[in-house]
């Protein structure tokens, strides 16, 4: 088991090294999209399922509260946190609509949707992207594997950050690092480098 544990560290490091070669330009582009939205009075909505729901909440908490420095709160909403809203939509309509209905109510032109799915095939995240486009929002998609159905929905204004891995755990590990890179980018762009 010890060798297996060490192997997980090695696989994580390898995936992060590959990601370091492939993803920085996309992360920078996504950061610029988010900063522009915030500077224009917009907000960032985020969504995902399971571990990706946790990532969406992690991201919004870093913006609403603080990342690594004291600064004003920034407008971000995780669409995964209101259990009454999520369960009523799932019960009355469909689980596939739990995010899209919220986006149609809360999203405005110029806002950004951070859509997270390791496979890129989560039906409710796909519907969230469609709703975001209807609301004239830009989408930043965190995916893995081959990008799934999410990749085919993205427009020239959207940004996909696709982790070069087929293993869910490795994709999630890089998604967390990407989220921290985005938080740092936003803070530095809005409040200067420390």
Q: Of the candidates 9, 12, 8, 19, which has an alpha carbon nearest to the alpha carbon of residue 142?
A: 19
Binding-site entries for Zn(2+): 58, 62, 172, 180
Binding-site entries: 49-51, 58, 62, 91-92, 117-119, 122, 172, 180
**CB burial class (10 A; 0-12, 13-18, 19+) of residue 28?**
middle
Binding-site entries for substrate: 49-51, 62, 91-92, 117-119, 122, 172
Alpha helices in 23-154 (DSSP H): 24-39, 51-64, 83-92, 100-106, 123-134, 148-153
Q: What DSSP element (H or E) covers 187?
A: helix 168-191
- Under 8 Å between Cβ of 87 and 27: no
């Amino acid at each position: 088991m010890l060798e297996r544990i060490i192997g997980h560290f090695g696989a994580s490091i390898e995936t992060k090294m590959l990601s370091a070669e492939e993803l920085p330009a996309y992360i920078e582009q996504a950061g610029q999209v988010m900063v522009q939205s915030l500077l224009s009075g917009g907000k960032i909505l985020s969504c995902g399922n399971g571990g990706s729901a946790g990532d969406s909440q992690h991201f919004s908490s870093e913006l609403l509260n603080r990342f690594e420095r004291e600064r004003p709160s920034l407008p971000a909403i995780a669409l995964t946190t209101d259990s009454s809203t999520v369960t009523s939509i799932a019960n009355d309509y469909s689980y596939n609509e739990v995010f899209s209905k919220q986006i149609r109510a809360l999203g405005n032109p110029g806002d950004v949707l951070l859509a997270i799915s390791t496979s890129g095939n989560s039906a409710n995240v796909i519907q969230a992207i469609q709703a975001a486009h209807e609301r004239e929002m830009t989408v930043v998609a965190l995916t893995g594997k081959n990008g799934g159905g999410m990749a085919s929905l993205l427009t020239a204004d959207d940004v996909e950050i696709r982790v070069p891995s087929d293993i869910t755990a490795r994709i999630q590990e890089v998604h967390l690092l990407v989220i921290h890179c985005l938080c740092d980018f936003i803070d530095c762009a809005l409040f200067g480098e420390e």
